[in-house]
Amino acid sequence: MKEKKYRAQIYVTLRPSVLDPAGTAVESGLQNMGYANVTGVRIGKYVELTIAAASETVAREQLDKICDQLLANPVIENYRVELTEISPVEAVR
């Protein structure tokens, strides 16, 4: 079977139960700027990568392992993966 290429956009965020001091600091900065209407600032990480796989299902399975083992620490973080197939023209570039 021919492999396809996918662009993965991975968002790693602190679990809601984990204190985010950096988010709190940014929130107070925004409030000092006058944005009293801003609350709930949480800071996470964004990772993008290209993955070759036989199908989207296979790619997602691998990405779950990649995230669980390295990109995120499941003890304190959640992750979300968005997957887009790269068209052959784009892949050539």
Partner 1 sequence: MKFGVVVFPGSNCDRDVVWVTQHLLNQPTRLIWHQETDISDIDVIVLPGGFSYGDYLRCGAIARFSPVMTEIVQHAQKGKSVIGICNGFQILTEVGLLPGALARNRDLHFICDRVPLKVVRTDIPWTKAYTTGEIITLPIAHGEGRYYADSDTLSQLEDNQQILFRYCTNSGEITTAGNPNGSLNHIAGICNQRGNVLGMMPHPERAADPATGGIDGMKLFQGLLC
Closest Cα partner for 74 from 82, 85, 66?
66
Number of residues that bind partner 1 (CB under 8 A): 14
Nearer to partner 1, 21 or 34 (CB): 21
Binding residue for partner 1, selected from 41, 58, 71, 83, defined by CB under 8 A: 71
Closest Cα partner for 40 from 50, 48, 30?
30
- Amino acid, single-letter form, for residue 19: L
Q: Is 80 helix (H, G, I), strand (E, B) or coil?
A: strand
Q: Could you tell me which stretch among 31-39, 49-57, 70-78, 84-92 binds partner 1 (CB under 8 A)? A: 70-78
Instruction: Give the residue ranges of DSSP H helices in the chain.
Output: 21-32, 56-66, 88-92
Least distance in angstroms from the C-beta of 53 to partner 1: 22
Residues 4-63 that bind partner 1 (CB under 8 A): 14, 17-22, 25, 45
Interacting residues toward partner 1 by CB under 8 A = 14, 17-22, 25, 45, 70-71, 73, 75-76
